[in-house]
Structure formats: structure tokens, C-alpha cells
Amino acid sequence: PVPDWPARFAELAAAARDPRLRAFYAAGAVAGDTPRKDVPMVAIDVETTGLDPARDEIVSIGVVPMDAACIRSSASRYWVVRPRAELHPESVTIHAITHAQIEAAPDFGAILGELLAALAGRVVVVHCREIERRFLDVALKARLGEGIEFPVIDTMELEARMHRAPPPGFFARLFGKKPAPVSIRLADSRERYKLPRYRAHHALTDALATAELLQAQVAHRFTPETPLRELWR
């Protein structure tokens, strides 16, 4: 079940020890019955050294403020940060952030205040919530000794709702016919809405791509009055 996020944020603000985290929670969370048209949002993407939060770390972060009416690209933020985990050649091939860039970059803790300020008071928009929520939680625990919680609108989950296959019928089971799977990856999801193809695995570009995908999804399947609780997790 989805938490009562405004109440949860009040609890977390009272319990947070770090002043930056306390200020983030004190900014509050939008109520679930708020119409979509009134919800302030921010799209975020992180690039990492790998896919395991227990071993890997964040190397770059992109955030793009948005709301139901527009995407505020001019207010976007982008950071490259120095991970404590090893930067493997395989991950460099994916996100193109080099060892030289990493060596000149600050630790994640140095940009944490700016990042939390960019997220405060907004609903976070991601494509695959398990990546951003888990990596950010682990990164804060490693530096502050306390993690982070926040609601998200997950464009991958919204796409999965549309394309999740129903249980096969009798004849499909009898003859072993299976429906062709539909990809809900970011680029493939965007293509279904005729959105342009961008370079993948750049945190700021992927954050923008996620923001655009959400705009397309809600335009096709929701209304300005759709309550936030039907979108977030």
C-alpha cells in the first residue's frame, strides 16, 4: 500500500538528524488527492557503476523540474560525483563518464544539499523506481547514517499497467501460444508515443526523456483532474 506521504514526511522531519535531510522532509509532500494539474514534480535519473546498490555507487545525477503544463529545462541540474566503488570499464562504456572526470568530481555528500533542495516539495518522477530510490537511500546511509524516503511517479510502472499481459485463455494455454512481450524500457516506451530518440545513459538526458514520457502518458490516459494517488507509489 502507498503510505500517507504528508504524514510520513512529518514523522521523518521530526526524526531526521541531518539538517539538509530535515529541511527536505519539512518542505512536505503533496497530498494524494491533489489533482495532477496542481502537482509540482521533478524528473530524476542516476547513472551508476553497476546495478547492485550494495556494491555499486552513483556517478552522475540529472534533475529536471516540471509540472503538468511544462518541463523547465532551463532550471535543470546535473552533477558528476566521485564514487567510492571502483569504476569498471564496462560501466564507462555505458555512461561514458571517464576516470579523469571522476577524479575531478566531488563526493556525493558535497552536492547532497543542492540535490535535496532541488527535490524538496516536489513529487519525484523516474523510470524504474528501484534504481533511483534504492541508490539514493544507500548513498545517504553511507554518508549520513540515515536513508531517505520519498514518493515517486514511475513511468515504467505506468507503462507496465497498459501493456501487462492478461492471463492466457483456454485455447492459448491448450496450444501453448504466448503473447509477444512488450518492452517498457525508456527508449521503447517513448517510441510508442512518437517521441524523439535521445542518447541513452546520460543522467540529464534520461531525466528529460522521462519527463517527456510522463507528459505523453498522462495526455493519452489521464486528465488534469486525475488525483495524484492514481499515479504515484
Mean pLDDT taken over the chain: 93
Give the pLDDT confidence of 142-196 residue by residue, as tens digits: 999 999 999 999 999 999 998 875 555 555 555 566 667 889 999 999 999 999 9
| Structure-model confidence comparison of residues 1 and 208, the more confident one | 208
Give the pLDDT confidence of 99-151 residue by residue, as tens digits: 899 999 999 999 999 999 999 999 999 999 999 999 999 999 999 999 999 99
For 143, phi and psi rounded to 5 degrees?
Answer: -110, -30
**pLDDT(226) > 60:** yes
Collapse the DSSP code of 198 into the 3-class scheme (helix H, G, I; strand E, B; otherwise coil) and give the result: coil
Asked if 136 and 148 count as a contact pair (C-beta separation under 8 A), the reply is yes
Half-sphere exposure of 163 (CA within 13 A, CB side): 17
> What's the pLDDT score for residue 164?
73
Query: What is the residue whose three cell numbers read 491533489?
Result: 34
For the domain bounded by 42-117+125-143+155-222, which CATH number is listed? 3.30.420.10
Based on its alpha-carbon atoms, the radius of gyration of the chain, rounded to whole angstroms, reads: 19
Collapse the DSSP code of 14 into the 3-class scheme (helix H, G, I; strand E, B; otherwise coil) and give the result: helix
| Separation of CA 72 from chain center | 17
- 148 burial level (CB within 10 Å; 0-12, 13-18, 19+): buried
Give the pLDDT confidence of 62-103 residue by residue, as tens digits: 999 999 999 999 999 999 999 988 887 788 888 889 889 999
Strand bridging mode 41-48 / 77-80: unpaired
> What's the pLDDT score for residue 85?
85
Domain ranges, ordered by start, for the chain:
42-117+125-143+155-222
